[in-house]
Amino acid sequence: LSPIDIQRVRQDFPILDQLVNGKPLVYLDNAATNQKPVSVLNALAHYYEHDNANIHRGIHTLAERATHDFELTRQKVQSFLNAQHVEEVIFTYGTTDGINLVAQTYGRKFLNEGDEIIISTLEHHSNIVPWQMLCEEKGCVLKVIPIDDNGDLLIDEYEKMLSERTKFVSVVHVSNALGTINPVKTIVDLAHRVGAVVLIDGAQASSHITLDVQALDCDFYVFSAHKLYGPTGMGVLYGKKALLDAMPPYRGGGEMIKEVTFEKTTYNELPYKFEAGTPNIADVIAVRTAIEYMESLGKENMAAYEGELLDYATAQLADVPGLRIVGQAKEKISVVSFVLDGIHHQDTGVILDQMGIAVRTGHHCTQPLMRRLGIAGTTRASFAVYNTKDEIDRLVQGIRRVQTMMA
Ligand code: PMP
């Protein structure tokens, strides 16, 4: 491991160098979306300044350049995930889009009445609602892995839920609301024992954990580029080739076809079968730069530094009277959620913003989890590689000020 040169890293993120409400910005909303290094901004500008063209169809030089760079990102993502085949990398619009794609194609074709789908209490709405929609349409049954009060999944209960009726398991890798890292390898192995197919929602994991979909042996893995220092509106669905081949296409349109007549259309091969229409070409191209940025720092180095920030923040916040940390899982990443006695999280967020401190407040798109924990919401601070202990000190001072003002 080599230490992160934090001053140099912060220079890579020009957005951080600004005053918000007269105070230096402290950006602690990284689980919602993190900021983009200047190399990613340059990649976007470079594409539009030099290479902008539609991909795959053109024979002119710009179209060839754009296509080449677009496909380079696919190769980069293949190695980022350690996927066996490059065509197992499908570009989507984000995590939500990837989960809907699988629910609407794999789910509609292969799941039937009475089949059981297992999710967990920790899921983001985007890994709940698509399965509920499928259950409504197909008569499948949705089951939910419970948690303990620390925010750890009850794996024994999960094991008991599995049976030959279990056809699909869709679980989050890292909880966006609590930071829990789930034992996804165990979850996958247990599901495979009963022949179920597994999707892992990697939205929060992808920028913090080194991924290896072959070692994990998951059937699908999804994430969003905007949570790994890349642009919004772009994401990835990884799927095992045999499964993707067996699935019907999702959206119909250009790019995803082999031949169209008014009588019948035949579909393109992977990955294009799932990529109808003109994609976010510039954003896809810039994702390669985002991954290269993380590689230049070293993902293990980033994780070690972010772990230090999490430990420091947890210790500092635990010392604040009237503050309770929500979610104390055995393994956590980069997220501290908390509630303040007698103070609504929305007031906390508004007052912190007055001090230039950006946090997320509310249910974090995990309403069922909040209900299970018996709270309406939390205030969440979430860290990225450019955050500092100094900023955590400012957060703690800010929280004390909130408590004084609301007393
Ligand atoms: N799952 C998790 C765990 C998330 O944190 C998020 C984003 N907050 C999503 C899914 C949805 O991601 P997106 O909005 O980029 O589709």
- Residue 1 belongs to a domain: no
Q: Provide the CATH number for the domain around residue 71.
A: 3.40.640.10
Ligand 1 neighbourhood includes 188 CB (under 6 angstroms):
no
Q: Does any domain span residue 36? A: no
* Spacing, Cα 235 to ligand 1 middle (Å): 10
Mutate to test the pocket of ligand 1, among 34, 93, 99, 124 (most ligand atoms within 8 A of CB): 124
Which of 176, 332, 337 to mutate for ligand 1's pocket (most ligand atoms within 8 Å of CB)? 176
End residue of a domain, out of 265, 280, 295: 295
pLDDT of residue 58: 80
Among 295, 329, 363, residue at a domain's last position: 295
Query: Ligand 1, closest atom to CA 364?
Result: 8
Query: What's the gap in Å between 126 CA and the centre of ligand 1?
Result: 7
pLDDT of residue 221 exceeding 90, the answer is: yes
The chain-wide mean pLDDT, for the chain, equals 97
pLDDT digits (tens, 9 = 90+) for 304-337: 999 999 999 999 999 999 999 999 999 999 999 9
**Is residue 333 in some structural domain?**
yes
Q: What is the pLDDT of residue 400?
A: 98
Note if 365 is an active site residue: yes
Q: 377: Cβ below 6 Å to ligand 1?
A: no
Same domain for 324 and 199? no
- The answer to the question of residue 163 being in a domain is yes
Choosing from 245, 272, 295, the residue where a domain stops is: 295
Total structural domains in the chain? 2
Give the nearest ligand 1 atom to 96 CA: 16
203 lines ligand 1 (CB under 6 A): yes
Query: Does residue 80 share a domain with residue 170?
Result: yes
Report if residue 317 sits inside a domain.
yes
- Mark whether 194 and 108 lie in a shared domain: yes
Q: What share of the chain has pLDDT > 90, as a percent?
A: 98
- Give pLDDT tens digits for 149-200: 999 999 999 999 999 999 999 999 999 999 999 999 999 999 999 999 999 9
In a shared domain, residues 202 and 325: no
How remote is the CA of residue 32 from the centroid of ligand 1, in Å? 8
pLDDT for the residue numbered 311: 98
Q: Are residues 241 and 347 in the same domain?
A: no
Q: Is 182 left (phi over 0), alpha (psi -120 to 50) or beta?
A: beta
Instruction: Give tens-digit pLDDT for 111-146.
Output: 999 999 999 999 999 999 999 999 999 999 999 999
Catalytic residue among 135, 140, 218, 365: 365
What is the pLDDT averaged over residues 257-265? 94
Q: Of ligand 1's atoms, which has the minimum distance to the CA of residue 235? A: 15
The predicted pLDDT at position 318 comes to 96
| pLDDT grade for 384, boundaries at 50, 70 and 90 | very high
**From the CA of 176, how far away is ligand 1's center (Å)?**
8
Confidence tier at 38 by pLDDT (50, 70, 90): very high
Same domain? For 222 and 145 the reply is yes
